[in-house]
Amino acid sequence: MKIENIDELKQIANDIRKGIIEAVYSGKSGHPGGSLSITDIMTVLYFNEMNINPEVPKDENRDRLVLSKGHCAPALYSTLARKGFFDVEELQTLRNIESRLQGHPDMKNIPGVDMTTGSLGQGLSAANGMAIAGKLDNKDYRVYCILGDGEIEEGQIWEAAMASSKYKLDNLCVIVDNNNLQIDGTIEEVMSSYPIDEKFRSFGFEIININGHDIDEIIKAFEVVKNIKGKPTCIIAKTIKGKGVSFMENQVGWHGKAPNEDQYKQAMEELTKM
Each residue's pLDDT tens digit, 27-58:
999 999 999 999 999 999 999 999 999 999 99
- The mean predicted confidence, pLDDT, of the chain is 97
pTM of the model: 0.97
Distance from C-alpha of 179 to C-alpha of 187, rounded to nearest angstrom: 9
Q: What are the pLDDT digits (tens) for 75-111?
A: 999 999 999 999 999 999 999 999 999 999 999 999 9
79 inside domain? yes
- The pLDDT assigned to 274 comes to 75
51 inside domain? yes
- The pLDDT assigned to 1 comes to 79
173 inside domain? yes
Is the pLDDT assigned to residue 16 strictly greater than 80?
Answer: yes
208 inside domain? yes
Pairing of strands 185-186, 233-238: unpaired
Which amino acid belongs to residue 39?
T
- The pLDDT assigned to 70 comes to 97
Confidence category of residue 17, pLDDT binned at 50, 70, 90? very high
- The pLDDT assigned to 235 comes to 98
- The pLDDT assigned to 273 comes to 85
Full residue range of the structural domain in which residue 12 is found: 6-273
Q: What is the mean pLDDT of residues 264-274?
A: 94
119 inside domain? yes
Distance from C-alpha of 142 to C-alpha of 130, rounded to nearest angstrom: 9
Q: What are the pLDDT digits (tens) for 228-249?
A: 999 999 999 999 999 999 999 9
Number of structural domains (the chain) is 1
- The pLDDT assigned to 108 comes to 97
Q: What percent of the chain has pLDDT over 70?
A: 100
203 inside domain? yes
Q: What are the pLDDT digits (tens) for 185-228?
A: 999 999 999 999 999 999 999 999 999 999 999 999 999 999 99
Q: What percent of the chain has pLDDT over 90?
A: 99
153 inside domain? yes
Confidence category of residue 254, pLDDT binned at 50, 70, 90? very high
Q: What is the mean pLDDT of residues 164-187?
A: 97
Three-state secondary structure string covering the chain: CCCCCHHHHHHHHHHHHHHHHHHHHHHCCCCHHHHHHCHHHHHHHHHHHCCCCCCCCCCCCCCEEEECCHHHHHHHHHHHHHHCCCCHHHHHHCCCCCCCCCCCCCCCCCCCCCCCCCCCCCHHHHHHHHHHHHHHCCCCCCEEEEEECCHHHCHHHHHHHHHHHHCCCCCEEEEEEECCEECCEEHHHHHCCCCHHHHHHHCCCEEEEEECCCHHHHHHHHHHHCCCCCCCEEEEEECCCCCCCCCCCCCHHHCCCCCCHHHHHHHHHHHHHC
CATH of the domain at 201: 3.40.50.970
1 inside domain? no
- The pLDDT assigned to 3 comes to 95
- The pLDDT assigned to 93 comes to 98
Q: Are 147 and 123 in contact (CB under 8 A)?
A: yes
Q: Which burial class, exposed, middle or buried, applies to 131 when counting CB atoms under 10 A from its CB (0-12, 13-18, 19+)?
A: buried
